[in-house]
Amino acid sequence: MKYPKTLKKGAMIGLVAPSSPVSPEQVAQCQKVLQDLGYRVKSADNLSASKGGYMAGEEEVRGNWINRMFADDEVDAIFCIRGGDGGNRIMEYVDPDIVKANPKIFVGYSDVTSLHLLFNQQCGLVTFHGPMVRSNMIEHFDKESEKAFFDALTAEKEYVYQPPKDFEIKTAKAGKACGILTGGNLTVMCTSIGTPYEMETEGKILFVEEVGEHIGNMDRNIYQLRNAGKLKGVSGILLGQFSNCDTDQENYTIVDIVKDAVKDLNIPVMYNIQSGHGFPMVTLPMGAECTMDTDNKSIVFSVER
């Protein structure tokens, strides 16, 4: 796996919208917040475009902007402006050869999970499940999220997950495991099954997060992963934020669902990992070698450039 070069002050950030759009006013806000952080900005021209009211223009346009930002020698890192919907529509238009030839920082989460899987599995590139510009940096870039973000993008030898204050790591199943980190949004992971971009989990540590789902839907999706063989070979599981998810029963949660789904598997499961659709939002390097240990409640990523 290729860990991209570190982010330096004054770097050029390519701002893309692979899923849903933002308003022109929000585009200006996003550009300003990055400039105020000390970076230059080059923006795709579809950030406020609209198709169907929920996608940032035609899928070919959105996919080609990913290619253009990776191929552009002036661009040092690519930040997604937001997630939303329609990201899986662009997969056939993203060129893995361009990405492999021009490895660089790529940041996003939620609907961007499709691109993380593509870049990790087909391009050998470590990407970052981290804050997006419109969704996080304008109004919700708290100090802990900001520190974790820049620590992840500038780490030299290792990057250690630091739980935010009052969000201690918890254990559902004890143990220690090592493996490349994969996963992301639960719904998007499940929709990859049966496609050329299907998530690979064998020997890996699986990270899972979700937003706005009923417990029944999360149950179906977790058991879709189990029935598709995606849980059997994992080394371990990290459960992130499940923001605005309706559990229906206070005494039966997503943690209980996962414990049931892996009760016959000898793998560790840690939860309360603060990465996903909530705040604070800690950055995770997808595709990086990860070691999780429930004894000392640690999550450590190796950085190899």
Give strand pairing partners of 105: 77
Q: Which of 19, 110, 145, 275 does the annotation list as catalytic? A: 110
Instruction: Let me know if 129 is a catalytic residue.
Output: no
Active-site option among 59, 144, 209, 210? 209
Q: Catalytic annotation on 110? A: yes
| 190 and 222 Cβ atoms separated by less than 8 Å | no
Q: What is the 3-class SS of the chain, one letter each residue? A: CECCCCCCCCCEEEEECCCCCCCHHHHHHHHHHHHHCCCEEEECCCCCCCECCCECCCHHHHHHHHHHHHHCCCCCEEEECCCCCCHHHHHHHCCHHHHHHCCCEEEECHHHHHHHHHHHHHHCECEEECCCHHHHHCCCCCHHHHHHHHHHHHCCCEEECCCCCCCCCEEEECCEEEEEEEEEEHHHHHHHCCCCCCCCCCCCEEEEEEECCEHHHHHHHHHHHHHCCCCCCCCEEEEEEEECCECCCCCCCHHHHHHHHCCCCCCCEEECCCCCCCCCCCCEEECCEEEEECCCCEEEEECCC
**Of 222, 287, 229, which is closest to residue 261 (Cα–Cα)?**
222
Report, as residue numbers or ranges, the catalytic residues: 110, 209, 277
